[in-house]
Amino acid sequence: MPDTGFIRALPKAEVTASLYTTRYAFKTFETGSCKRILDLGCGDAFFEERYPERFIGIDVDVARLGQSHKRGVSNLILGTAEALPFADASFDGVLMKDVLEHFYLEQAFRILHEVTRVLESEGVLVITTTKNAQIFWDKPDHVRPYSNKWVHRVLVKEMGQYDLVAARELSGGIRGFGKLRLEWLTHALADHFGIRNTHGIITLRRI
């Protein structure tokens, strides 16, 4: 096997469109009237291709950015989340979808400080989160789980720079529910009863 430096088990852009977290995140930014949104760890650049006037993507994966450029996506930047190449308060929305779990604790703190720096007052931050379950560790690119409670504790209680807007617990999926178009029900059950509660999504507003 060739040495690629790292493995990213991210879904392709065409898969991203069908995900509940994708729809939830975009609806959240719509509700918040966000016009300039940073997609941190943009992967295959779904948002940047679909909504080029609103999203700017940044990622460390040269190959994936190159593939997206070949599809005509131009609003992409090669860079690291730990040192964002943007001025303070550059965005009114930031999306961290499937990002935090790829970093160690010290890195996660640096990233959250950088996100806070580039997000304007009253700006919206959406983060997908993970829990310490076997399904998490089965992915080779995962480093550490971060839950909704962890994000809330750090950004709201400890740093004191955000207010909580909403937090939902999500299901890892129940066999057959997707084919029946009952995905919403699996997440509702996870949120209410904790059934197959493996990850989540949390929305915060910058103070």
CA atoms within 13 A on the CB side of 12: 3
| Other Cβ atoms within 10 Å of 87 Cβ, number | 9
Q: What pLDDT, on a 0 to 100 scale, did the predictor assign at position 4?
A: 41
> Rounded to two decimals, what is the model's pTM?
0.84
169, 150 contact by CB (below 8 A): no
| Other Cβ atoms within 10 Å of 136 Cβ, number | 16
Q: What pLDDT, on a 0 to 100 scale, did the predictor assign at position 197?
A: 73
**What percent of the chain has a predicted confidence (pLDDT) above 90?**
66
Cα separations in angstroms, 181 against 75, 123, 176, 194: 33, 33, 9, 20
Asked if residue 205 has pLDDT above 80, the reply is: yes
Host H or E run for residue 172: none
Q: What pLDDT, on a 0 to 100 scale, did the predictor assign at position 135?
A: 72
68, 48 contact by CB (below 8 A): yes
Q: Give per-residue pLDDT as tens, 59-89.
A: 999 999 999 999 999 999 999 999 999 999 9
**What percent of the chain has a predicted confidence (pLDDT) above 70?**
84
Give the residue with greater pLDDT, 150 vs 142: 150
Q: Give per-residue pLDDT as tens, 5-22.
A: 455 555 555 667 778 889
Q: Give per-residue pLDDT as tens, 90-120.
A: 999 999 999 999 999 999 999 999 999 999 9
Mean pLDDT of 144-151: 95
Token code pair at residue 34: 């966000």
Instruction: Write down the CATH superfamily of domain 13-206.
Output: Vaccinia Virus protein VP39 (3.40.50.150)
3-state secondary structure 142-154: CCCCCCHHHHHHH
Q: How confident is the model at residue 153 (pLDDT cuts 50, 70, 90)?
A: very high
Token code pair at residue 126: 């959406």
CA angle 127, 37, 26 (to 5 degrees): 60
User: Which residues are paired to 127 by β-bridges?
Assistant: 96, 202
Q: What pLDDT, on a 0 to 100 scale, did the predictor assign at position 174?
A: 61
| 45 class by beta-carbon count within 10 Å (0-12 exposed, 13-18 middle, 19+ buried) | buried
